[in-house]
Amino acid sequence: MTNLRSWLLDEVDETRGRLKTQVLDIVAPERRGDRPGGGSSITWNLFHIARHAGLALSVLTGELSEAVAQLDRLPRSTAAGGGGLEEAEQPWCVDLDPLLVEAHLNTVLDDVRSYLVEVPLEHLELYPEVRAGLELAGIAPDRFGWLWQMWEGRPASFLVRWPLIGHVGNHVGEMLATRNRLGLSPF
């Protein structure tokens, strides 16, 4: 079991390291809202993965994570009713401060790491109270029914594998492609 914990922590750390060194250290905050060739901006992707991971932590722990509580520091329209969970970039994203979003994501990733360090690994086989967690976070089933369906009836290990790790890694790849379309590839 300790090998599993090490693997999970390595995934979080390595993905976070790629994000920092290959995206955030290269793309200036004022360029992170750019969308060359369409798609989503870096700022959107940072916010989007923070929203999903923060929400998953709340479901896993049964209480609002610090990161979800922090959403009050962002413009009201962003967090209302699950804003940021959408896959497509929303028009209000232009109101997000890239540095505040980066700080928010760092809090989420710190929380993810802490959770993975502390959670008894046998708890990953349990089924969290998804409905209660989503309701606590104010995620409406009529607006985000697809998320309710994707998460309900799944063991905690699914929420670790997807919103806490896999989803983050997928969007880091998307941000690398955006960085390249910005003409900022270091290679």
In a domain, 67, yes or no: yes
More confident site: 155 or 70: 155
In a domain, 31, yes or no: no
Q: Is the pTM of this model over 0.85?
A: yes
Give me the phi and psi of 83, to 5 degrees please. Answer: -50, 135
Domain range for 132: 2-21+41-181
In a domain, 56, yes or no: yes
What CATH number is attached to the domain comprising 73? 1.20.120
Position 45 pLDDT exceeds 70: yes
Nearest to 43 by CA among 93, 82, 79, 91: 93
Structural domains of the chain, count: 1
Q: Compute the distance between CA of residue 112 and CA of residue 114 in angstroms, rounded to an integer.
A: 5
- Give the Å distances, CA to CA, from 17 to 36, 70, 72: 24, 23, 27
pLDDT for 77 equals 55
Nearest to 37 by CA among 162, 185, 147, 180: 180
pLDDT for 69 equals 67
Measured from the Cβ of residue 56, the count of other Cβ atoms closer than 10 Å reads: 27
Contacts of residue 161, defined as CB under 8 A and 6 or more positions apart, other chains included, come to none
In a domain, 158, yes or no: yes
pLDDT for 115 equals 97
When the pLDDT of each residue in the chain is averaged and rounded to a whole number, the result is 92
Average pLDDT over residues 31-48: 96
Q: Compute the distance between CA of residue 153 and CA of residue 114 in angstroms, rounded to an integer.
A: 25
pLDDT for 47 equals 94
pLDDT for 42 equals 98
109-124 pLDDT tens trace: 999 999 999 999 999 9
pLDDT for 158 equals 98
Position 5 pLDDT exceeds 70: yes
In a domain, 33, yes or no: no
pLDDT for 80 equals 64
Please identify which residue in the block is written with the tokens 């028009």: 91
In a domain, 27, yes or no: no
Give me the phi and psi of 37, to 5 degrees please. Answer: 75, 10
pLDDT for 1 equals 52
127-154 pLDDT tens trace: 999 999 998 888 888 889 999 999 999 9
pLDDT for 2 equals 59
In a domain, 34, yes or no: no
Give me the phi and psi of 34, to 5 degrees please. Answer: -70, 150
In a domain, 69, yes or no: yes
| Contact present, 164 and 57 (Cβ < 8 Å) | yes
